[in-house]
Chains A and B, each alone.
Chain A
Amino acid sequence: MQLIGVPQKRVEDPRLITGRGRYTEDVRLPGMLHAAILRSPRAHARIQEIDVAAAQAADGVVAVYTGRDLAGKLGPIPTAWLPPDSDIKATAHPALAVDTVRYVGDGVAMVVAESAAAARDAIDRIKVRYEPMAAVVDQAQAMAEGAPLVHEDAPGNVAFHWKAGTVPEEAFTGAEVVVRRTFRQQRLIPNPMEPRAAVAQYDPSTGDLTLWATSQNPHIHRVLLSSVLGIPEHRLRVVSVDVGGGFGSKIACYPDEALTAYAAMALGRPVKWAETRVEHFQATTHGRDMVIDVELAGRRDGTMTAIRVKNLANMGAYLSTAAPGVPTILFGLIVTGAYTFQHAAVDVYGVFTHTTPTDAYRGAGRPEATYLVERMVDLFAGEIGMDPIEVRRRNLVRPEAFPYQSALGLTYDSGNYQRALDQALETVGYEEIRREQAALRQKGRYIGIGCTSYVEISGLGPSEVAGAVGFQGGLWESANIRVHPSGKVTVFTGGSPHGQGEETTFAQIVADRFGVPLADVEVVHGDTARIAMGWGTYGSRTTAVGGSAIAVAADRVIDKARKIAAHMLEAAEEDIEFRAGRFAVRGAPERAQTFQAVTLQAYLAWNLPEGVEPALEAAAYYNPSNFTFPFGTHIAVVEVDAETGDVQLLRYVAVDDCGKVINPLIAEGQVHGGIVQGIGQALWEGAVYSADGQLLTGSLLDYAMPKARFFPAFETAFTETPAPHNPIGAKGIGETGTIAATPTIVNAVVDALQPFGVQDLAMPLWPERVHQAIQAGRNGR
């Protein structure tokens, strides 16, 4: 049965829809204690004194720890992405602040108690005397002369300075048209619906520590935490099977999980820590927060020739695990987008501020890059008086140009960018909507059309490149396929899906190759005791890289089975065809053995061919030779109420190309979710700090999350241009929606406001801001 490219209901769902998922907070162990963490209410202060006596004496309290108590016992939390030649100052994050707090939410003390309520009550009884110090929250201000320093060893609060590409001066001095603009990528709160949590259990007799944790990459957590905790890697087991979303925020190694593990070891009882939502706002990494200056050079015929980008990236108070990679490699190398710029240069400063550390958030760098280039295309089009669609058409990399070497040194693998653009235009009925727009304007109604033709870097990635760009890890993926004597199959993957559905996608790949029913294949992930090694789920890598590893391992299984089948059928190996779960002699299809019969023989080993070992399993460690480059075009139609500034989304069309689609149901779901998150950034979401470092948008009451009623049904479709360099042709679909939707919406709203002369708007496009822009335009005329 054909299983690739066919919608399949997810195999992970039965447990999740019946309430039998096992998320970290659901873990309950006998004798378990509960931890709560006291967090700094100040953005920057010296800790003069911490008085824990009252907390210690409180009912049910078992232990109280401060930063001083942990000195020498619990290492600081390291940064694991160190871009080369960037003079990086990766000041490690102490698990609890020792003498200085550097952001609201910085951990100050931990209480462990018999119940969660007792622990929470007790942290209120800890008295901390702070000596307040001046704080800085904005990256440009942080770099200014005389700004308060976050770390003494980072002058000017510069955490790193990274550059890529060059643009000859003449590219701008001699240009017919130059457009300059500054864009602000506001700070976002990831807000997966499951807050972070950890449960630790220690067995002193063996030295084994088991940590259930909300992680996107349990093996990375194991490596990092074993060094933080000082316990041998093989004694630490990290389990993250059911994880309630991550969006990048569960990549990082945080102090809290390390503290929970430490307490379990110190106290000899299991300990649980679970973040509250308000805590999530302060203590889990944030996303975006960049101030980006762009200069674009072009010709009046619509050709874009050069782009120069300067990015001030707000890193927060410490460099989180993968954070330095986001505004550098993941952002910087893709600022040319899907277009044939001759020259490009990027100049990035990572800046410390007294705010929660930032790190990857769905798309991580690529949404910010796509935003700037897609906004610039529209501004450039306005400048030369050309339809922005026409500018895109003229500058998109042409299908015959692949593999295409970008100005910033990437090799875009494959694509037909025009086809996706054409299909999106046709679906939305572009010309028709332009006519409607003109007619409605006569009546004082303002609709706008916005477009984005993106390309993204995903399928992270070649390990050699990971090393060259300073990622302190590999980016290959592991697969282990064990066929059981009865022909049932267990697949072990190093990917760690947390909503993306790879228990199903991977089972499809294997069942399709083996010709067995989908139900005969089980996929195991998210447990370092069951999977030897893996790099986890982020950067739209799991299907492209982990799925490729699985395909390679499956083919190895088939190769071995073929040998056994040939022996059973007394035929030459070359004469054996394997199709639909049967090994048959070429030209004599009645001489055949089923996959299950061959498997059984592999285990019985009564009569194996010479040199073939018993059993049937295979491993593969797949290191991709290139990134993958998904692409597509999204188009939105919006209406702006000129009286209120309110934006209504009328239509949203997405044509995405993620290479070969394995499960269209899942792929479409990824697009839907991504679009909503991208629109969330464009229209509503934004974390706001006061000048002294208080997080003003500190809960779901003050931070606007997208709701169902804000959206029409999206019109989504796929084109398929396989990745040429991996065995399954898949590219990745997890982030395309978030990457494309934000500029699409802003382009549409700005387009709607053309009659008012509005050229740009700051995100999020809150009605008040849109209304002010309209008023300014009206008054200007």
Chain B
Amino acid sequence: MTTEVTIFVNGAEQTRAVEPRTLLVEFLREGLGLTGTHVGCDTSQCGACTVLLDGKAVKSCTVLAVQAAGQHVTTVEGIGSVEALHPVQAAFWEKHGLQCGFCTPGVMMTAIGLLQERPQPSEGEIRSALDGVICRCTGYQNIVRAVQDAAVRMAARDAQTASD
């Protein structure tokens, strides 16, 4: 038993037949082949699957595809490219915010969600905001540095856009 669902993913309208139980993360990975969003657990703890749903960071393993119908989803593939990195991507690269990289897409999407709400977060706020993600490799310190750096980059970018 499947139903058709349309979701706007990284700006493109995508329609797929899904089962009622199909998770948003399955829609992205299996349906669209967007494998940048990862699955690290089955109990909604790890945050590796975090995406932006209508601009808010959510764990895509906790949302059914049908629930996301008609909404806008942004995945790691949609935030920037190697030629034009998103400030958060550039900051994670610069500050060595990743090791194995498996948690990284989810961590970066979480960071984007945080920086949208709090453009100048304190270290404590960053660490609290990362509560929904687990990174086994980095010890978090360089993730925190990367988010701080991203905040600076985004402020600079916004100042640039404002003056243009």
Residue pair B93, A278 in contact (C-beta under 8 Å): no
* Complex: A26 Cα to B30 Cα, angstroms: 9
Interface contact A245-B94, CB-CB below 8 Å: no
Which residue of A is nearest B77, CB measured? A19
How far, in whole Å, are A19 and B77 apart by their CA atoms in the complex?
6
Chain A residues with CB under 8 A of B35: 19, 22-23, 25-26, 28
Cβ of A638 under 8 Å from chain B: no
B36:A708 contact, CB within 8 angstroms: no
Q: Are A16 and B128 in contact (CB under 8 A)?
A: no
Q: Does B105 contact A (CB under 8 A)?
A: yes
Stretch from A188-196, A417-425, A437-445, A581-589 that touches the partner: A188-196
Query: Nearest chain-A residue to B93 (Cβ)?
Result: A13
Question: Which of A156-164, A345-353, A498-506 lies at the interface?
Answer: A498-506
Which chain A positions have C-beta within 8 A of B133?
Answer: 708
Hey, which chain B residues are within 8 Å of A671, CB to CB? 139
Which residue from chain B places its CB closest to the CB of A116 in the assembled complex?
A: B30
A-binding segment of B52-60, B64-72, B80-88, B156-164:
B80-88
A332-340, A390-398, A697-705 - interface stretch: A697-705
Q: Which residue of B lies closest to A713 (CB)?
A: B141
Q: Which residues of B contact A666 (CB under 8 A)?
A: 96
Q: Which residues of A contact B76 (CB under 8 A)?
A: 17-19
Contact of B33 with A by CB under 8 A: yes
Produce 1/0 per residue, A176-215, CB < 8 A to B.
Answer: 0000000000000001111100000000000000000000
Q: Within the complex, what minimum Cβ distance (angstroms) separates A251 from chain B?
A: 15
> How far does the Cβ of B135 sit from chain A's closest Cβ, in whole Å?
7
CA distance A215 to B38 in the complex (A): 18
Q: A9-B94, A700-B46 are in contact. Are A19 and B19 (CB under 8 A)?
A: no
Q: Is A510 an interface residue (CB 8 A)?
A: no
Known: A17-B108, A19-B75, A19-B77. A709 touches B130 (CB 8 A): yes
A193 touches B36 (CB 8 A): no
Given contacts A23-B38, A192-B100, A245-B100, contact A707 B139 (CB under 8 A): no
Could you say which residues of chain B place their CB within 8 Å of the CB of A711?
127, 139-141
Residues in B neighbouring A194, C-beta threshold 8 A: 38, 40, 100, 102
Q: Cβ of B43 and Cβ of A709 under 8 Å apart?
A: no
Complex contact B136–A192 (CB within 8 A) = yes
Contact of A277 with B40 in the complex, beta carbons under 8 Å: yes
A21 within 8 A of B: yes
Q: Give the residues from 657 to 706 in chain A that come closer than 8 angstroms, CB to CB, to chain B.
A: 665-666, 668-677, 699-701, 705
Is A404 engaged at the interface, CB distance under 8 Å to the other chain? no
Q: Are A191 and B136 in contact (CB under 8 A)?
A: yes
Whether a CB of chain A sits under 8 angstroms from the CB of B50 is no
Give every chain B residue within 8 A of A705 (Cβ-Cβ): 45, 134, 136
Q: Which residues of A contact B98 (CB under 8 A)?
A: 13, 16-17
Assess whether A713 is in contact with B134, with CB atoms less than 8 Å apart.
no
* C-alpha gap A28/B108 in the complex (Å): 25
Among B48, B82, B93, contact of A10 (Cβ-Cβ < 8 Å): B93
Q: How far is the CA of A194 from the CA of B136 in the complex (A)?
A: 10
A250 CB, min distance to chain B CBs, angstroms:
11
Contact in complex: A499, B101 (CB < 8 Å): yes
B81, A672: Cβ atoms under 8 Å? no
A276 within 8 A of B: yes
**Inter-chain contact B93/A193, CB cutoff 8 Å:** no
Interface residues of B in 96-133 (CB under 8 A from A): 96, 98-105, 108, 123-124, 126-128, 130-131, 133
Residues in B neighbouring A247, C-beta threshold 8 A: 136
Q: How far is the CB of A290 from chain B (nearest CB, A)?
A: 22
Instruction: Please measure, in the bound complex, the distance between the C-alpha atom of A19 and the C-alpha atom of B60, giving whole angstroms.
Output: 15
**Chain A residues positioned under 8 Å from B80 (CB to CB):** 18
Given A277-B42, A675-B139, A699-B42, A709 and B99 touching (CB < 8 A)?
no
Q: How far is the CA of A225 from the CA of B96 in the complex (A)?
A: 35
CB distance from A32 to the nearest CB of B (A): 11
Q: How far is the CA of A501 from the CA of B93 in the complex (A)?
A: 12
B46 to chain A: which residues have CB within 8 Å? Answer: 193, 277, 700
CA distance A14 to B42 in the complex (A): 28
Chain A min CB distance to B158 (Å): 21
Q: In the complex, A714→B131 CA distance in Å?
A: 18
Please tell me the number of chain A residues within 8 Å of chain B, measured between CB atoms.
58
In whole Å, how far is A675's beta carbon from the nearest beta carbon of chain B? 6
Interface size bracket, B side: 35 or more
Shortest Cβ gap from B85 to chain A (Å): 7
Which residues of chain B come closer than 8 Å to A18, judged between CB atoms?
36, 76-77, 80-82, 85, 89
Task: Establish whether residues A676 and B92, one from each chain, have CB atoms under 8 Å apart when the complex forms.
Answer: no
Contacts of B7 in A (CB 8 A): none
A605: chain B residues within 8 A (beta carbon):
none
A10-B96, A13-B92, A23-B38 known; A193 vs B131 contact (CB < 8 Å): no
Bound CA span A24–B99, Å: 17
Complex contacts, B101 vs chain A, CB 8 Å: 12-13, 16-17, 21, 242, 244, 499
The residue in chain A whose Cβ has the minimal distance to the Cβ of B138 is A673
Complex Cα gap A215–B76 (Å): 25
Contact residues in B for A276 (Cβ distance below 8 Å) = 42
Query: By the criterion CB–CB under 8 Å, are B138 and A672 in contact?
Result: yes
Q: Does A292 contact B (CB under 8 A)?
A: no
Chain A residues whose CB sits within 8 angstroms of the CB of B138 once the complex forms: 669, 672-673
| Closest CB in chain A relative to B141 CB, distance in Å | 5
Evaluate contact between A700 and B41: CB separation under 8 angstroms. yes
Q: Which of B42, B85, B123, B136 has the most CB of A within 10 A?
A: B136
CB distance B96 to A193 under 8 Å?
A: no
Q: How many Å lie between the Cα of A754 and that of B122 in the bound state?
A: 35
Within 8 A of A (CB), among B21-55: 21, 33-43, 45-46, 48
Interface string of A10-54 (1 = CB under 8 A from B): 101111111111110110100000000000000000000000000
Contact partner of A278 among B40, B42, B82, B140, CB < 8 A?
Answer: B42
In the complex the two chains form, is B104's CB within 8 Å of A243's CB? no
- Check if A386 is an interface residue, CB within 8 A of chain B: no
* Contacting pair A193 B102 (CB below 8 A): yes
The distance in angstroms between the C-alpha atoms of A257 and B133, with both chains bound, is 28
Measured CA separation A707–B130 after assembly (Å): 8
User: Is A277's CB under 8 angstroms from B131's CB?
Assistant: no
Known: A19-B77, A499-B101. A245 touches B39 (CB 8 A): no
A713 touches B123 (CB 8 A): yes
Give CA–CA (A675, B96) in the complex, Å. Answer: 16
Docked Cα-Cα span, A642 to B52, in Å, equals: 42
The verdict on A532 contacting chain B, using a C-beta distance below 8 Å, is no
Annotate A383-416 by CB proximity to B: 1 below 8 A, 0 otherwise.
0000000000000000000000000000000000
* A700 B139 Cβ-Cβ under 8 A: no
- Nearest Cβ in chain A — how far from B107, in angstroms? 10
Q: Does A117 contact B (CB under 8 A)?
A: yes
User: Which residues does chain B contribute within 8 Å of A701, judged by CB atoms?
Assistant: 43, 45
B134 touches A700 (CB 8 A): yes
Tell which of A28, A191, A714 touches B141, judged by Cβ atoms closer than 8 Å. A714
Question: Across the interface, which residues of A come within 8 angstroms of B104, CB to CB?
Answer: 16-17
A430 to B141, CA, bound (A): 24
A-B contact pairs, 24 of them (CB 8 A): A17-B76, A18-B85, A18-B89, A19-B34, A25-B39, A192-B100, A193-B38, A193-B40, A193-B48, A194-B100, A245-B100, A245-B137, A277-B43, A499-B137, A665-B96, A666-B96, A669-B99, A672-B140, A707-B140, A708-B140, A709-B127, A709-B128, A711-B141, A737-B139
Give the 5 A-B CB pairs with smallest separation, nearest first. Answer: A19-B36, A244-B102, A499-B100, A16-B101, A672-B139
Q: A117-B19, A673-B99, A707-B134 are in contact. List 10 more A-B contacts (CB 8 A).
A: A17-B85, A17-B92, A19-B35, A117-B21, A192-B136, A668-B142, A669-B139, A699-B42, A707-B130, A713-B144
